[in-house]
Amino acid sequence: MADSLRVALVQQATVWEAPAANLAKARTFAAEAARAGARVVVFPELATTGFTMAPEGLAEPLPGPATEAFGRLAREHELYVIGTAVEAHVPHPRNAALVLGPDGALVSIYRKLHPFTYGEEHQHYVGGDDCPLFALDGIPCGLQICYDLRFPEPFRSLAVRGAEVVFLPANWPLRRIEAWSTLLAARAIENQMAVCGVNRVGRDPLAEYPGRSAILDAFGAVVAAGGPEEGLVVGDLDLAKLRAWRARFPALRDRRPDLYPQL
């Protein structure tokens, strides 16, 4: 199991409902991440389409074209790629993230658990029903997507199963950006895990997005962070330090699930 992980977060100005244009951007960003020595590159939520509320015509099977495209990038640059796409599903599509290994093979798929009802996402997408663990160089990892950040329970579920790093692709708007930064730190601190939140930049027909992507360690300290500009945020996670902290201060052992079984 690796003791460190260099992460590159892609603060992308997503082209609205234009998968080909966004995959062309992805090729450039993946090459930049490889030159920066990253082991994993992470794209924001719905990076192939933008946060569209008309997903049906853009939905595709997974595995499918997006899997193949991100897999080619992973194989070409010999790194892990965490991409995102609209997954075809009945009765509605799903908001999905996919993990490709350095050999281009599909490692895991995660479907956003909590559609954003405030923005009527639930009328166009169906929520997922699983929080899979997967390994990057032996490091146990998990995924959440955007609005999932407001729900501590899935993060805790991942933590008690051993997840050390959780990646969170998002389209988090400017008007709620302070909640983004606070919640990223809270999820890291309360679970003694590294949290990597990647947010898009620019505008779409619905909102303005300020970036502010961040890589946080298990203490909630910011390892690397972005501003409002398109580009990469690159940082190194010290997993040996994370494991030592968990061993020295095993806070999760003091949980009392018998007192809150409804959770």
Active-site residue identified among 112, 131, 164, 196: 112
Q: Give yes or no: 196 in active site.
A: no
Q: Give yes or no: 146 in active site.
A: yes
Closest CA to 29 of 243, 258, 209, 232: 232
Residues 6+ apart with CB under 8 A from 84: 43, 44, 45, 46, 47, 48, 95, 96, 97, 98, 145, 169
Active-site residue identified among 17, 25, 45, 131: 45
Strands (E), the chain: 4-11, 40-42, 80-87, 94-100, 106-111, 134-136, 139-143, 165-170, 194-199, 201-203, 208-210, 214-216, 222-225, 231-238
- The alpha carbon dihedral of 227, 5, 196, 135 has a sign of positive
Q: Give yes or no: 112 in active site.
A: yes
C-beta separation of 87 from 49 below 8 A:
no
Active-site residue identified among 25, 87, 131, 146: 146
Active site residues: 45, 112, 146
